[in-house]
Structure 1
Amino acid sequence: MDMVKWAEKLMSMDEQSWSRHANPWSVYSRFSIMPMLSLAIWSREWVGYHCLVFILLCVLWVWLNPRLFSPPKDHNNWASKGTFGERLYLDRANQSLPAHHLVMAKALQWGSAIGLVFFIYGLWVLDIWVVILGNVWVMVFKAWFVDRMVWLYQDVKANKQ
């Protein structure tokens, strides 16, 4: 299962949204998703089924985020390069990419998925420390994945020159 490709399809990302998502504000603000979702789901204890409104707002933020910011004027930054690398990774069926990046990207995706287990369990039993562990775990692996995508982008770009 390719979680990144699945997420791209779910998000209906087109050329314009990818261009906007390369804005560092888009990339960095996406790290707010896990804590906001945690709070939205946890709020079921306080507001019952009305928590679904907060959960839907989080889902809306996930979809809206890559469309909200303007395309960056400068692409020479970690966030933009990570976005470009992710696009290369998603198109890996149509081009040859260094195998060491592909193996590591898969490992990082699975590492992030393990964090989701803690995240979900912590929210199920309402254990704040397990929820925090899940949040940190997922965000560390996501940041590591983006960093790997920067490396992939730089390697591919260097090999084309």
Structure 2
Amino acid sequence: MNDNTNLNEPLGDKSDELSLDLFIVLARAYNSVVSHSTRSIQSYGLNSTEFGVLDLLYHKGPQPLQKIGEKVLISSGNITYVADKLQKKNLLVRIASPDDRRVIFADLTEEGRSFIQEIFPHHQSVLVEAVKGLDEAEKKVAITLLKKLGLSAEDSFKQQT
């Protein structure tokens, strides 16, 4: 380090500093909102992944196990573990595909469907409460901007690999 370096000066320009500030604010906002969701989900004896699988099956119907992992962002090994746990709780059932023996579908049991129908409205109200800091117009703008940011970051990541 030379004598002309001021330790209080940022290393990059203002744009770099703004990007770091955005990252910190985004991470903190995400953590704050997710804490509401996590507490709600855990109050029903589930973890976030289990809830994600039940939510997907409730809203989209039966799904191939390998596709569930992609949609709720977990590995194929973990989806088997989560499906086993939900099956032991009698919330999920596995169904062999009639067209391809290699494909196994997951679906909700009647108990699973009743369970998610009962808890989802409360969970939705928890999420509404968690994001009430923005009005409707601000939420629309935030959705647009965050999609743009996510797609750009994804493209950049793909180009680096």
Given the two structures, how large is their TM-score scaled by the length of structure 2?
A: 0.25
Higher CA-based Rg: 2
Given the two structures, how large is their TM-score scaled by the length of structure 1?
A: 0.25
